[in-house]
Structure 1
Amino acid sequence: MKKAYRIKKNEEFQQVFKKGKSFANRQLVLYYMKKDDQSHFRIGLSVSKKIGNAVLRNQIKRYLRQAFLELEPRIDTRYDLVVIARNPTKNMDFHEMKKSLSHVLYKSRLLSKDR
């Protein structure tokens, strides 16, 4: 995932939280906001210190970035996405994480079935 496709600034996170919509399952919370003027979706990841130490938090973020990379052709490009990891993610492997992410994206109608 290219760094240009990431949300880093606090103001951008806050804008997605305030103006966007959300969907959640037990493992992840997804906030999304439509932005018609961009050619690629952007993602922001948030993993709380309550989940674990820095090594575990970074591992969860790596898993999420890789899952986004694999799902990239199927994701609607006109959105800013913020993913917040919940406590159960600390016990998940990559495939479970990808399945959970696919679920929240599909339920939010941001993920197409084919392509």
Structure 2
Amino acid sequence: MKNKRIIKDNFKFQSIISKQKVLKNPSFIIYFEKSEIGFLQYGISVGKKLGNAVFRNKIKRQVRMMMNEVIKTEGDKSYKIIVMARKAMTNKDFETNQNALKNVVSNLK
């Protein structure tokens, strides 16, 4: 079954990023856009500066798990978001990063 919450297309990433509505914290940058679909959609981006492919995939898996927890509480918000991981995320533990992501997503307006 296809997951309707995940954004994978490059042109969708670019359209959300081009709106330049941004929320930041030391671990994440969140680009967002209001939508009419009735639920939270997300895409994950990890830059090459963070490490090799194995490490970047590990970060993406962690962010995906964090987003699953965020969706349980904030999933009814009607937004499209792009989550970009920052270097500072790698120095913190999973719980700290998860709380930081929850705080940023809960501040969407």
Hey, what's the Cα distance between the residues in 1 that align with 2:52 and 2:3?
Answer: 24
What is aligned with 2:51? 52
**Displacement of 1:103:** 2.1
How many residues align? The count is 107
RMSD (Å) for aligned C-alpha atoms: 1.7
TM-score by length of 1: 0.82
Hey, what's the Cα distance between the residues in 2 that align with 1:24 and 1:64?
Answer: 15
TM-score by length of 2: 0.86
What is aligned with 1:18? 18
Aligned partner of 2:43: which letter?
A: G
Hey, what's the Cα distance between the residues in 1 that align with 2:52 and 2:23?
Answer: 26
Percent identical pairs in the alignment equals 35
What is aligned with 1:30? 30
Q: Contact (CA 8 Å) 1:52, 1:90: kept in 2 or not?
A: no
Mapping of residues 34-113 of structure 1, within 5 Å: 34-36=34-36, 38-75=37-74, 76-109=76-109
Question: In structure 2, the residue corresponding to 1:5 is in which secondary structure?
Answer: coil
Q: Contact (CA 8 Å) 1:20, 1:34: kept in 2 or not?
A: no
Aligned partner of 1:34: which letter?
A: K
Question: In structure 2, the residue corresponding to 1:4 is in which secondary structure?
Answer: coil
Hey, what's the Cα distance between the residues in 2 that align with 1:42 and 1:78?
Answer: 8
**Structure 1, unaligned runs of 5 or more:** 110-115
What is aligned with 1:8? 8
Hey, what's the Cα distance between the residues in 2 that align with 1:100 and 1:50?
Answer: 21
**Structure 2, unaligned runs of 5 or more:** none
**Displacement of 1:20:** 5.2
Hey, what's the Cα distance between the residues in 2 that align with 1:20 and 1:41?
Answer: 18
Aligned partner of 1:87: which letter?
A: K
What is aligned with 1:112? none
